[in-house]
Structure 1
Amino acid sequence: MAKPEYYYGVHSVESLLELEPERVLTLFTLKGREDQRLKRILELSAPFGISVQQASRDSLEKLAGLPFHQGVVAAVRAHPVLSEKDLDDLISSKDNVFLLALDQVTDPHNLGACIRTAAAMGVDAVVVPRDRAAGLTPTARKVAAGGAEKVKFIQVTNLARTLGQIQDNFNVRVIGTMLDEKALPLQECDFTGPIMIVMGAEDTGLRPITQSKCDQTVYIPMAGNLQSLNVSVAAGMTLYEACRQRNSH
């Protein structure tokens, strides 16, 4: 049996209990904590007979790996890792798939923030490379504030190859965010239909091999001398425009 994963933070644990309570093995709560948020978590867990153990602050910190656990940690049955086949199955089942890819984003806080926004904007899956990129760590899950349970997280061996395959096999358009001579202002790009939006890391942007797979590139017009934004902020602005167009369409 695979080792359990540990979720921490009120939003993350609450969302897990609402959507996938069967995965929760044990709840650990801060000894002496008795507030409404914790009461809600205990109410959600009660119908499923989930074991609840009170623990000291130090014990929770060891389970979470960080001191920012908000007084609740859940030991959870690990999810199988989703891969290229799962992505193909998802696209095959959706007429108008909406995907976000992150090209070597290594900060789990940025990954979590992108997942949170993706879930809010109706994205079907977040796709990342398996290597040299942040995974769905407890920190990323906490920052996602429940979003990680609402949007699929798929790791692929070779992102550029995956982009080419979904273009050829499923006619999914790949839209990359970068400033080049062919880039359109964000609001002038057509985000309707089956698409994958690709965001690069703040320091390096999209790798050349990823750029070569883009059907269209876009940029976010900015005032002043600013040339770039944090990837999670840029993802939020781009996904919002895509969501606006898709809903109005």
Structure 2
Amino acid sequence: MPLIPLDDLDDPRLISYRHLKATNETRYLPRFVVEGEKLVDQLRESRYPMESALLSDRHADRIGPKIPEKVPAFVVDHQKISTLVGFNFHQGAMAVGVRLPQIDPASIVNPSATSLNLVVCPVVQNPENLGTIVRTADVFGVDAVLVGPTCPDPLSRRVLRVSMGTALALPVIVLDDLADRLVDWQRTFGLQLAATVTDPDAEPLSSFARPDRLAMVMGSEAHGLAPEWIARCDRRVTIPMRAGAESLNVAVAAGIVLYQLSRPGG
């Protein structure tokens, strides 16, 4: 489809791109928005259909040919795009994706999987933290990230931006019954749950031997893991810190844990 120049910001075809800063919550919407050329490329290669693209007139000639043939690509004056989206935008391109049913966790957690590596985030609240955890999990070969129902929408613009689009490829599965599912998988699948804690009496990360089927459970930004979550876990693991040090940011902690587990013998 040829590029479609638009001058009127009230054109109804641009509705999905309006005031994005004020409408970042996309959890209950059938569509989501990605920003930046790299994420537009990743959306094109993902399982999610691309509904439309929005291109700055400064970059349309370069990016336009990469937009799928049947997807309308709207070209808007570079200065006007910031007015349209509600923030200072310099990324050159955006696109709207169509939300699909999330991946069935049974396709990942099943008896045929001899090895399994999961990250579990029951109550992470910050989209940037979730995006960083997803990006890090992808780097270190995690099979899926499981999150509780109050966590940020994995397809929100901020999570997608910080994850550099890896949330479009790595399964990030929201489960209302997360705790019950994990307990069931412990019993029927032999999944081991490891709680990440700050307790110095817990097992040091450096000596933690990873089982074949493992879920690392990460705490919230403010309070860490709730006692009931720690009680559900088979093991408690800690990153040793100097006495009196503040706890690590959850995304930083996840990076350290996943790096250590990716090492030979980890």
TM-score normalised by length of structure 1 = 0.84
Aligned mates of 1:165, 1:139 — CA distance in 2 = 32
Residue 217 of structure 1 deviates from its aligned partner by 1.0
- Structure 1 residues 204-219: aligned runs within 5 Å: 204-219=223-238
Structure 1 residue runs of 5 or longer lacking an equivalent are none
Write out per-residue CA displacement over residues 68-118 of structure 1, whole angstroms, 9 at most, x where no aligned residue.
562211111112134xxx222311142201100112001111111110111
Q: Percent same amino acid at aligned positions?
A: 29
Residue 97 of structure 2 aligns with an amino acid whose one-letter code is V
Residue 241 of structure 1 deviates from its aligned partner by 1.1
Residue 128 of structure 1 deviates from its aligned partner by 0.6
Q: RMSD value over aligned CA atoms?
A: 2.4
Query: What's the counterpart of residue 36 of structure 2?
Result: 9
Aligned mates of 1:81, 1:65 — CA distance in 2 = 29
Residue 181 of structure 1 deviates from its aligned partner by 6.0
Aligned mates of 2:86, 2:238 — CA distance in 1 = 37
Aligned mates of 2:234, 2:66 — CA distance in 1 = 45
**2:53 partner SS:** strand
Residue 214 of structure 1 aligns with an amino acid whose one-letter code is C
Deviates more, 1:88-97 or 1:193-202: 88-97
Aligned mates of 1:164, 1:65 — CA distance in 2 = 44
Structure 2 residue runs of 5 or longer lacking an equivalent are 1-28
Aligned mates of 1:65, 1:128 — CA distance in 2 = 29
Tell me which of 133, 141, 148 is aligned to 2:160.
Answer: 141
Q: Does 1:233 align with 2:259?
A: no
Residue 198 of structure 1 deviates from its aligned partner by 0.7
Q: Does 1:190 align with 2:209?
A: yes
Q: Of the two, which has the highest radius of gyration?
A: 2
Task: Report if aligned partners of 2:134, 2:167 keep a CA contact under 8 Å in 1.
Answer: yes
Residue 240 of structure 1 aligns with an amino acid whose one-letter code is Y
Query: What's the counterpart of residue 57 of structure 2?
Result: 31
Higher helix share: 1
- Structure 1 residues 81-230: aligned runs within 5 Å: 81-82=102-103, 86-92=104-110, 93-130=112-149, 132-136=150-154, 137-180=156-199, 182-223=201-242, 225-230=244-249
Residue 57 of structure 1 deviates from its aligned partner by 5.0
TM-score normalised by length of structure 2 = 0.79
Write out per-residue CA displacement over residues 18-41 of structure 1, whole angstroms, 9 at most, x where no aligned residue.
334x6112111112236xxx83x5
Number of equivalences:
236
